[in-house]
Amino acid sequence: MGSNISASAALAVAITAAALHGPGFTGESFHPFFAYKNSMENKVPDIGEQAAILADIGFDGYDHRELEGLDETLRALDKSGLKLYTIYFSVDIDVPEQPCNPGLDEALPLLKGHETILWCHVHSKRYSPSDPAGDNDAVPILRAIADKAAPYSVRVAPYPHINFWVESPEDTARLADKVDRPNFGSSFNLYHWKALEGNRKRPLAEVAARLAPKLMVLSINGDEGKKIAIGPLEEADISEYCDVLAAFRGAGFRGPVGLQCYAIEADPRVHLRHSMAVWEQIKNRFNDVAPVTRKD
Q: Which of 41-50, 151-160, 226-235 has the highest mean pLDDT?
A: 151-160
Q: Which pLDDT belongs to residue 227?
A: 55
The parent domain of residue 175 ranges over 7-287
pLDDT in tens, 154-204: 999 999 999 999 999 999 999 999 999 999 999 999 999 999 999 999 999
Beta-bridge partner residues of 117: 86, 155
Q: With bands split at pLDDT 50, 70 and 90, how would you rate the model's confidence at 228?
A: low
- Residue pair 243/9 in contact (Cβ under 8 Å)? The answer is yes
C-alpha dihedral (230, 232, 237, 242), degrees to nearest 10 = 100
Q: Is residue 131 part of a domain?
A: yes
What was the pLDDT predicted at 226? 57
Q: Is the distance from CB of 262 to CB of 9 less than 8 angstroms?
A: no
Confidence of residue 25 (pLDDT cuts 50, 70, 90): low
Determine contact, residues 112/153, Cβ cutoff 8 Å: yes
Domain membership flag for residue 294: no
Percent of the chain residues topping a pLDDT of 90: 80
Judge whether 293 lies within some domain.
no
CATH code of residue 248: 3.20.20.150
Out of 13-27, 29-43, 62-76, 213-227, least confident range: 13-27
Mean pLDDT over 117-136 rounds to 99
- Give Cβ neighbours of residue 147 (< 8 Å, ≥ 6 apart): 181
SS3 per-residue string spanning 86-110:
EEEEEEECCCCCCCECCCHHHHHHH
β strands within the chain, DSSP E: 33-35, 61-65, 83-92, 117-123, 155-158, 186-189, 215-220, 257-259
Please check whether residue 292 lies inside any domain of the structure.
no
What integer is the mean pLDDT of 145-153?
98
With respect to residue 2, please indicate whether it lies within any of the assigned structural domains: no
Q: How many domains does the chain have?
A: 1
What pTM did the predictor assign?
0.88
55 within domain boundaries: yes
| Backbone dihedral angles phi then psi of residue 265, each to the nearest 5 degrees | -80, -25
Beta bridge partners of 119: 88, 157
Percent of the chain topping pLDDT 70: 86
Round to whole Å and give the CA distance between 124 and 103. 21
Does residue 212 fall inside a structural domain? yes
* Within a domain: 296: no
